[in-house]
Amino acid sequence: MDVSRHDIVIVGGGAAGLRAAIEAAEKNPSASIALVSKVYPMRSHTVSAEGGAAAIAREDDNVELHGYDTVKGSDFLADQDCIQYFVEQAPKELALLENWGCPFSRNEDGTVATRAFGGMTTKRTWYATDKIGFHMLHALFQHSMRFKNIVRYDEFFVSKLLIEDGSCRGVAALDIRTGEYSTILGRAVILTTGGGGKIFPFTTNGTIKTGDGMALAYRAGVPLKDMEFVQYHPTGLPGTGILITEATRGEGGYLRNSKGERFLVEYDYGVGKKAELGPRDMISRAIVQEIEAGRGFSGAYGDYVHLDLTHLGEDKINTRLPFVRELAKVYIGVDPVTTPIPVRPVVHYMMGGVDTNIHGATEMPGLYAAGETACVSINGANRLGSNSLTECLVFGAAAANHAIDFAKGSSEGNEASLRAQAEEEAGRVENLRGRKKGGERISEIRRELNSIMENACGVYREQSTLQAGVGATAQLRGRVADLRLEDESKVFNTELITALELTNMVEVAEVLAVSAAHRKESRGAHTCKDYTTRNDQDYLYHTMARHDPAGPRLGKKDVVLGKWVPEERKY
């Protein structure tokens, strides 16, 4: 088996992973940084982000405002010290990104332009027409190519963390091309694998978002935090779930029901004067309620409402929202210049993830996480749009800095014993390859998983379906151990990868369901019909879920409060 040694191993090549790699490579030119990704980095799902990235830019903005908006958006579950760090670092990070070539849209005077976004009191979302994720990812990836000490392992699937003496010392990765395992050792490992939206049937996420990093940490004994909080983006296309950016509303778009009313203005959904620019959880709930009240539209792919951009004019749409226009035409046959776009809430982001501190460090020495994979937490119970991309940059860099320092101080692991662990994993996965004696089909389990999550963990949840979901996901965990695989080949066996991803998805889903079932209140994106108010007395804490053979074991972690005292969340 191939064994390679590096100083830092980064799993996942999206915005957070690439930012971490660049930071580590720059800060320490003699260090060797491994960037291990199951796809080529330019395919990472960062690429599909559209709206923008938030950081203070204008004179009328300051860290207080950005911090307050974020805390309030999080329904006061976010850690305020982390938010303070985040809003301070954000402008520096985005300025660096601009220096590295990201083609931000500009004001008249040549400075970077900003647009309004949901839940933000002033314009602070830096944008690049409506393809920020694409431009950010490509700028980061291309910039990372300058560093010869970043060693890329493209299309390597990490299936196990290698741990020695309670410290994380590397990963066991399947080389997708050859079908052979590789031991990639490092003094620190940073997980930046994104979220796990594919456990839901309707999601903006691409097929690669299967919660791999979360599952890796979870199985290694590291707790997952706040997993019950799943963001439903209000405007996704029915059927495919393709993202229609919040920027459509930032540029002045309206949401209309079947009566043509701007229902966010007509009825009280808690968004006040912000209307379409309210936080995502409130708007998603509003849309679901409109549909339930009979004021939605019905279509081949379910019920939806209208996103009306017709009053913006062709010029504005072509300059500020060209990608949205293209998506609407290609994927739903609608030209937003003349016709409203059908939209419905779809799963978009996981606020929860691997529990880390402000430096991106988990409780396991040598193991870090950043980006959507991690829960620092700055997003709490609900994330504001355009904070996530900046989060990837800020905490990707933070984790890399801490990891580099840790790596300098740590000793080399025992190569022989780590390699033995990897070989054991290789053997386990080899048994899965072409496992024709299995009884469960991959696509069948995936469908069932999707259905369970849709029923149990939708925008509105109730205890009865949540408890059923807990039982059902536990059952799936047993069934996914008996998968049937047909493909016996070694070279580029994508069925095997899909099976490994499915196992990760089922574990993440179970943690999600158990966490959601236990939280008997409504906060942020977690809305429980049986407990409709926020209960700060009993539930102002982070849910911690630890791995246990009998099912996730729950615990609590204090929220770091600060100058912003929890108050009623009204806009």
Which residues are part of the catalytic machinery? Answer: 233, 249
Q: Could you identify the residue written with the tokens 């959507």?
A: 372
Shortest distance, CB of residue 480 to another protein, whole angstroms?
16
Of 36, 461, 392, give the one whose Cα is nearest residue 195. Answer: 392
Does 112 bind another protein (CB under 8 A)? Our answer is: yes
Among 442, 453, 466, 514, binds another protein (CB under 8 A): 442
Q: Which stretch binds another protein (CB under 8 A): 174-182, 359-367, 408-416, 456-464?
A: 174-182
Among 8, 35, 47, 78, binds another protein (CB under 8 A): 47
Among 268, 311, 315, 330, binds another protein (CB under 8 A): 330
Does 365 bind another protein (CB under 8 A)? Our answer is: no
Q: Which stretch binds another protein (CB under 8 A): 215-223, 327-335, 355-363, 542-550?
A: 327-335
Q: Which residues contact 78 (CB under 8 A, 6 or more apart)?
A: 70, 71, 377, 378, 379, 380, 559
Which DSSP letter does residue 530 get?
S
Does 405 bind another protein (CB under 8 A)? Our answer is: no
Q: Are 399 and 24 in contact (CB under 8 A)?
A: no
Does 106 bind another protein (CB under 8 A)? Our answer is: yes
Separation between Cα atoms, residue 419 and residue 172, nearest integer Å? 8
Q: Which stretch binds another protein (CB under 8 A): 205-213, 227-235, 515-523, 527-535?
A: 205-213
Burial class of residue 88, CB neighbours in 10 A (0-12, 13-18, 19+): middle
Separation between Cα atoms, residue 145 and residue 8, nearest integer Å? 17
Does 356 bind another protein (CB under 8 A)? Our answer is: no
Measure the CA angle with vertex 194, ends 188 and 198; round to 5°.
Answer: 140
Whole-angstrom Cα Rg for the chain? 22
Does 494 bind another protein (CB under 8 A)? Our answer is: yes
Among 21, 34, 277, 327, binds another protein (CB under 8 A): 327
Among 81, 164, 175, 363, binds another protein (CB under 8 A): 175
Does 1 bind another protein (CB under 8 A)? Our answer is: no
Does 549 bind another protein (CB under 8 A)? Our answer is: no
Q: Which stretch binds another protein (CB under 8 A): 210-218, 368-376, 471-479, 489-497?
A: 489-497
| Binders of another protein in range 57-96 (CB under 8 A) | 91, 94-96
Of 325, 339, 117, 327, give the one whose Cα is nearest residue 238. Answer: 327
Q: Are 102 and 136 in contact (CB under 8 A)?
A: yes
Shortest distance, CB of residue 546 to another protein, whole angstroms?
31
Backbone φ, ψ for residue 430 (5° rounding): -60, -35
Judged by DSSP in three states, 31 sits in coil
Among 1, 58, 60, 145, binds another protein (CB under 8 A): 145
Does 357 bind another protein (CB under 8 A)? Our answer is: no
Of 88, 119, 52, give the one whose Cα is nearest residue 524. Answer: 119
Does 99 bind another protein (CB under 8 A)? Our answer is: yes
Shortest distance, CB of residue 420 to another protein, whole angstroms?
23
Q: Are 186 and 36 in contact (CB under 8 A)?
A: no
Among 1, 60, 111, 520, binds another protein (CB under 8 A): 111
Does 554 bind another protein (CB under 8 A)? Our answer is: no
Query: Which parts of 242-290 are beta strand (E)?
Result: 254-256
Q: Are 325 and 318 in contact (CB under 8 A)?
A: yes
By DSSP bridging, strand 230-236 and strand 553-558 are unpaired
Among 108, 268, 558, 567, binds another protein (CB under 8 A): 108
| Binders of another protein in range 219-258 (CB under 8 A) | 239-240, 242-243
Which residue lies nearer to another protein by CB, 318 or 533? 318
Backbone φ, ψ for residue 537 (5° rounding): -65, -45
Count of chain residues binding another protein (CB under 8 A): 63
Separation between Cα atoms, residue 51 and residue 233, nearest integer Å? 12
Does 460 bind another protein (CB under 8 A)? Our answer is: no
Shortest distance, CB of residue 370 to another protein, whole angstroms?
19
Shortest distance, CB of residue 495 to another protein, whole angstroms?
5
> How remote is the C-alpha of 335 from its chain's centroid?
29
Half-sphere exposure of 232 (CA within 13 A, CB side): 29
Half-sphere exposure of 123 (CA within 13 A, CB side): 14
Query: Can you give the binding site for another protein, defined by CB under 8 A?
Result: 26, 39-40, 42-45, 47-48, 91, 94-96, 98-101, 103-106, 108-112, 131, 134-135, 138, 142-143, 145-146, 154, 175, 177-178, 206-208, 239-240, 242-243, 300, 323, 326-327, 330-331, 442-443, 485-487, 489-495
